[in-house]
Amino acid sequence: MIKTWPLTPLYRRPWPISSAVVSQLDPSIPIEEEKTPNYHADRFYSVYLGQVLNGRYQIATKLGYGANSTVWLARDLNRWRWSREKYVAIKVNATSQHSRRVHTENELDIMRHISQVNSQHKGWYFIRKLFDSFTLEGTSGIHSCLVLEALREPLWLYRRRYIGGVIPPDILKILTQMILHALDFLHSECRVIHTDLKPDNIMVKIEDASIFERDAKDEFNNPLPQKNLDTRTIYLSRNNYGPLSIPTGIIQVVDFDLSVRAEPGQIHMGAIQGKIYRAPEVILNAGYTYSADIWSLGVMLWDLLEGKGLFNPTAPDKADGYDDQSHLGQIEALIGPPPQNLLSSGQRTSMFYKPNGELKDPGRIPSDFSFENTIGFMSGEEKLRFIRFVKRMMKWSPKERNTARELLDDPWLHEDFPQD
């Protein structure tokens, strides 16, 4: 008989619950996830600092939240005691109605699929991977939990690290190449359309993993103020890691809960994408495929280069409300009128266009809106080459847009050009 010795004492042990004095926030004022639309406390799992989830992950700090989840930094206790600490991000999904449950199951399916596809592809390194998954039983149902690589911050925050709050062209070229490699991996290897590409869903890796341990210890010894309620505690997110210590970060494309699988030539229907990143075929409901992601990338470059959106499609009578027809009018000002074959295939075309292909309200087409006058942080040949690059992505016809792989060869990405 072979005697086996328990290895548990050789693994890392949970830290004790912090005894530090914590400042209390006013319980009547909503904070964090409480401020999201349609918030209901019962839908969110009550996570608390120091808690060990799934017998393995000890919650160290809160990283962030959304309308349907909270995200936490956790110590992985399944490590030898003499090895370095490892921190992971745990996305704890809220319970919800059927449609949201489908999204949660879809995200898990897509991420499992991605993790099994060609790891030799360059783009594999720029996609956030799933480490582990498990479920928790809450008072209102089952919560799906994803264990992911802990990352630094999304691009909308990352750009603020630079002078003027915008990413310089030479840095943006490197980041764009990474995004294109990631999209080529998703499209050509995984057969996945992201469907929600925007600065929120592209994050930058941490340049030094010890930063996570620093924050975990700081939260333990000097916890941020928190809000204690009868059934739960609402924590403030600790996710600002300060100035960069290296000039260019490594990106990761994240958030696949709305992603779809598609074979070449397969067309999907329905509304996808953040409103200002929405491709024209999606606005018209003419069906979309991989090229919808390419359109979103082209639009998104303005957020990073100029610090503001390319489009501002508001209705004349509502200055703060998104308007489809104004969006289509601004697109027409940039790249000319839409082709008839696109209009004829759109299920919503008659809402915005006359039978002859003219916009119902031609006043929505701005006269002074062009690629040239929306760019202030580049000039000369650099600006011209950038516009040519973007025009390869922003075409009315989805079939005419270049693929991510084709765009990787663009001169703007690889050459330096004189400014005025």
Is 62 annotated to bind a ligand? Reply is: no
Short-list 251, 126, 238, CA closest to 199: 251
- Note the residue count of the chain: 420
Short-list 343, 337, 391, CA closest to 364: 337
Q: Residue 102 has what DSSP assignment?
A: H
Sheet holding 52-53, edge to edge: 52-53, 57-66, 69-76, 87-93, 141-149, 130-138
Degrees to nearest 5, angle at CA 249 with 243 and 251: 130
Say whether 320 is catalytic: no
Coil, helix or strand at residue 294:
helix
Residue 113 in tokens: 């699929």
From residue 25, alpha-carbon distances to 18, 37, 178 in Å are 18, 21, 41
Element (H, E) at 324: helix 324-335
Degrees to nearest 5, angle at CA 185 with 159 and 282: 75
Short-list 27, 68, 61, 60, CA closest to 44: 68
From residue 208, alpha-carbon distances to 6, 64, 178, 213 in Å are 34, 20, 20, 10
Q: Residue 188 has what DSSP assignment?
A: I
Coil, helix or strand at residue 264:
coil
Query: Residue 212: phi, psi to the nearest 5?
Result: -65, -40
Coil, helix or strand at residue 138:
strand
Catalytic pick among 184, 196, 215, 410: 196
How far is the C-alpha of 213 from the C-alpha of 220, rounded, in Å? 10
Q: Residue 67 has what DSSP assignment?
A: T
Where residue 328 falls (left for φ over 0; alpha for ψ -120 to 50; beta otherwise) is: alpha
β-strands 141-149, 130-138 pairing = antiparallel
Handedness of CA 221, 226, 228, 231 (dihedral sign): negative
Query: Residue 256: phi, psi to the nearest 5?
Result: -115, 20
- As annotated, the binding site for ATP includes 91
Annotated active-site positions, please?
196
